Amino acid sequence: MSGLVPGRRLSSRDLALFPMAAGKWLECAHLDGESVLTSRALLRVQVGIYLVTDAQDRILWLGQALRSQGTAGRMREHLRHPSRLQSFRTVRILALDDFTPPECINSIEGKAADLLRLRGTLGPRRWPTADRWPELAI
């Protein structure tokens, strides 16, 4: 797994909580889990929060896409790293409104990390603070 510290297995509780992080900015939650290599949701979502798991459904990554290439471009960047290409299997995506302000996206990512209890569990990974989440997302 070189460089990646897998977290715990993704639970049904996690899947129920994950969309709550998006608050009023949620457009659609793609929670079924699609292959990181063939996901149609990755191609459609320009602005969003994504959650990646490995073959054992252990959480590997929580991130955001706010780039001109959208979530597909962000995943391509990840998969350039051999350890991620080898480990990343499934992606779930919170599609956000395309006009979601960057500070809201940061707060939503931080809130997702809190709801999923990820802080301190995936090695050195860090997430933005969710301190302003109530005023930015609800």
Is 6 within a domain? no
Is 1 within a domain? no
pLDDT tens digits, 35-70 = 999 999 999 999 999 999 999 999 999 999 997 889
> What per-residue confidence (pLDDT) applies to 3?
72
Is 30 within a domain? yes
Is 51 within a domain? yes
Domain ranges, residue 103 = 12-137
Q: Is the pLDDT of residue 96 over 70?
A: yes
Is 5 within a domain? no
* CB half-sphere exposure, 6, CA atoms < 13 A: 17
Quote the tokens at residue 117.
């209890």
As a whole number of angstroms, the distance between CA 114 and CA 58 comes to 17
- pLDDT bucket at 2, cuts 50 / 70 / 90: low
Is 2 within a domain? no
**At 25, is the secondary structure helix, strand, or coil?**
helix
Is 7 within a domain? no
* CB half-sphere exposure, 90, CA atoms < 13 A: 15
Q: What is the pTM of this model?
A: 0.95
Number of domains in the chain: 1
- pLDDT bucket at 25, cuts 50 / 70 / 90: very high
